[in-house]
Structure 1
Amino acid sequence: MEDILKKYIPERAVTPCFELIKHNGVYLKIVNERVTRHGDYRRLPGGMHQVTVNASLNRYRFLITLVHEIAHLVAFREYGSAIKPHGNEWKLVFRKLMVPFINPAVFPEDLLPLLARHFRNPRASSDTDAVLSLALKRYDPANDKNYIFELPYGSLFRIYNGRIFRKGNRKIKRYECVEVASGRVYLFNPNAEVELIPG
């Protein structure tokens, strides 16, 4: 397992992550990319605990996602199954599990203050923290994707399933975008990754 982890997370995080996995009886499954999520946690029939994480994530996002999902298991175990999945109990556990990793031996210096700020009150996804998400993206392999907030107003873009939208105004936290084929309005997170269609 440690040899497998070395391919996906920073080297200094391998042993503590392996201990976290072993201590909590986690079956780790590394899967092909799912567009809608980076990972998930499930309690399987028979009481086994499965955590899945996308193989395509960069080392730092993979580590954050892995600990995020293990935090669900630990929070449910410590506080019971009636808690909210991303409620206060989960936030407390996630913060506690992440603190040992937030150091320059594991993360690059430029990410450390952003991680420290994020983990004061962690969100359901690091993607909803636009500043941290943008910083983590710098460690992704180069691709032709843009964040919606980077696109000019009125520009056309394509999402993962081929549907085409026109970017509209920002409404509080999200952008209103019109699907070209149907004329229906959809709301997008500012840091959703999309493909700009040159116009």
Structure 2
Amino acid sequence: MQTSLLDFIPAEAHLMIKTILANDNLVVKVKNERRTKHGDYRQLPNGKHQITVNSNLNEYRFLITLIHEIAHFEAYSKFGRFIKPHGKEWKQTFQHLMLPFLRPEIFPIELLPLLANHFKNPKASSDTDAKLALALKQFNEVNDKTYVFEVPFGKDFKLYNGRVFKQGKQRRKRFECVEVKTGKLYLFNPNAEVELIEE
């Protein structure tokens, strides 16, 4: 295990993570930011198992992502390769692995009720849990981004890839936004980070 991995997680979680990874014999790599995912797990052609986690995550999201990916490996090892990637076997494994970490010594007290609620039925991505995702983002480094839910109705905003959208109405959870160039309608998670276009 790379000692640098421990630099990315809360100090109080170091011993438990070392213990889990010593037992699991996994290759863990810290990667540069990937826009489409926080981390991943896969079996390599040589039979070893590899987890990658993005380096730009704050320490709490990094820890959750690391445990998420370890749960994939452990569920695969215990239940076989024909299980659904985020099915009941993975959920149970993720809950079991995460429970010992849900303590005020590791996570800020204001995150604990949100985490407890999330782990009653963990999703494929913690980003789909809008309250938890927004709470986790407050621990990110400060940047000039705006969240979709903060964009006024009818205002334009830009994504990291340069695509421009116009803010529309809110559905039950997500926002309807129209891509200016194509006129196509897209649904946005309320806490997606965007850049407001000043007029």
Q: Provide TM-score, normalisation by structure 1.
A: 0.95
Moved over 6 A (4+): none
The answer to whether the 8 Å contact 2:5/2:30 transfers is: no
1:62 aligns with 2:62: yes
The answer to whether the 8 Å contact 1:5/1:14 transfers is: no
The answer to whether the 8 Å contact 2:167/2:177 transfers is: yes
What do you get for the CA RMSD once the two structures are aligned?
A: 1.3
Q: Which residue of 1 aligns with 2:76?
A: 76
CA deviations on 1:36-88 (whole Å, 9 max, x unpaired) are: 11001111112111101000000000000000011011111111111111111
Residues 1-199 of structure 1: pairs in structure 2 closer than 5 A: 1=1, 3-199=3-199
Q: Aligned equivalents of 1:134 and 1:96: distance in 2?
A: 24
1:139 partner amino acid: F
1:70 partner amino acid: I
Unaligned runs of 5+ in 2: none
Q: Aligned equivalents of 1:127 and 1:150: distance in 2?
A: 17
Identity percentage over the alignment? 56
Aligned length: 199
Unaligned runs of 5+ in 1: none
Secondary structure at the aligned position of 1:7 is classed as helix
Secondary structure at the aligned position of 2:8 is classed as coil
1:127 partner amino acid: D
